[in-house]
Chains A and B, each alone.
Chain A
Amino acid sequence: TIGMIAIDTAGRIAAGTSTNGAKFKIPGRVGDSPIPGAGAYADGSVGAAAATGDGDVMMRFLPSYLAVEEMRRGTSPSYAGELAIRRIVTYYPDFVGAIVVLRKDGEYGAACHGLQSFQFSVCNSQLGQVTVQTVSCV
């Protein structure tokens, strides 16, 4: 799956996902990717988030929505992502997944669980080129 979030030069925010889902899923199964708030979410007044991992679990917790709402309450992008991941882990300690979070001012962060670490790609003028960044999982 790819989950992508972006802010353009006019400050407009968008989010999206694309996936072929889980390997060897039961036919008809759909994961979190096409569900707003689960696979991705964007609110122009706050920011955006996109999640990846076990979609059967993630769709039960709407992590992208939760991360955006945490930012609305003043939480940093990194901590908002961590809170969204921790909410899932409370119920599913073996959960595998990650989230990238972007605030409307361009500040961003990421969090993960169940992986050795999580890599995501980012680009802005400050970085000058596409950069792969790594976060340790909670």
Chain B
Amino acid sequence: EKVPVVINTWPFINATQSAWNTVYLKKKSALDAVEKGCSTCEDEQCDGTVGFGGSPDESGETTLDAMIMDGMTMNMGAVAALRRVKNAISVARYVLEHTQHSLLVGDLATQFALSMGFKEEPLETNISHNMWQNWKENDCQPNFWVNVKPDPTKSCGPYTPDTNITRRHKNDPKHRSIFSDKNHD
């Protein structure tokens, strides 16, 4: 009774339910279940951390990363920094099923998706735009820059390398995580 089973990170109940329906009620494969479950989250923009309209970058753009892996064949497909296509996990499935590659990135991943019949559309929404605008108005805090000037903990860019910081300090492994249950990979 422990198999079949679906598990996912975070309390994304609808994603788990659609994966379970796929693998249990429809008797489809684990691969189908994973694609369906992740697609559900992309459509529902789970927590703002999945799919379009969330996690804008410093330029305000939303890009998507996804991966799907078949544990029986060790075949996989993935896309990273996918631009202007909403269905990231399904594009990853196409990489798995229609190429011998593992990972396609950026605009060229978008070109692949379009050639496979996916639709090109903006991934930004009013919500992601406002989030980005608020971040800019808050002096671009927090951000991921270190050892640059102007001081990235106080100011927006553009940044240049701060040559006054010694190499020893630059290699300091201390790490300040700005991730949380609402901001994560």
Contact = CB atoms under 8 A, between A and B. Distances in A.
Same assembly: yes
Interface of A: 1-36, 39-44, 48, 50-58, 91-92, 94-100, 102, 105-108, 114-115, 119-126, 130, 132
A35 B78 contact: yes
Contacts of A55: 184-185
B50 A52 contact: no
Interface residues of B, number: 89
A28 B29 CA distance: 33
A16 B68 CA distance: 4
A70 to B, nearest CB: 16
Contacts of A10: 29
B1 interface: yes
B67 A20 contact: no
Interface in B9-40: 9-13, 15-17, 19-20, 23-24, 27-31, 33-35, 37-39
Contact of A36 (B7, B67, B142): B67
A21 B55 contact: yes
Query: Counting chain A CB atoms within 10 Å of each CB, which of B16, B17, B48, B102 scores highest?
Result: B16
A120 B16 CA distance: 10
Contact of A8 (B17, B28, B59, B80): B28
Given A15-B69, A18-B88, A28-B81, A33 B76 contact: no
Contacts, number: 317
A92 to B, nearest CB: 5
A113 B31 CA distance: 29
B57 A25 contact: yes
A6 B89 CA distance: 15
Contacts of A31: 65, 185
Contacts of A29: 57, 81, 144
Contact of A17 (B65, B102, B144): B65
Contact of B3 (A18, A28, A106, A122): A106
B4 interface: yes
17 contacts: A1-B184, A16-B89, A18-B42, A20-B52, A23-B55, A23-B183, A30-B80, A30-B105, A39-B185, A50-B9, A53-B179, A54-B185, A55-B185, A56-B144, A57-B177, A114-B177, A121-B7
Contacts of B46: 2
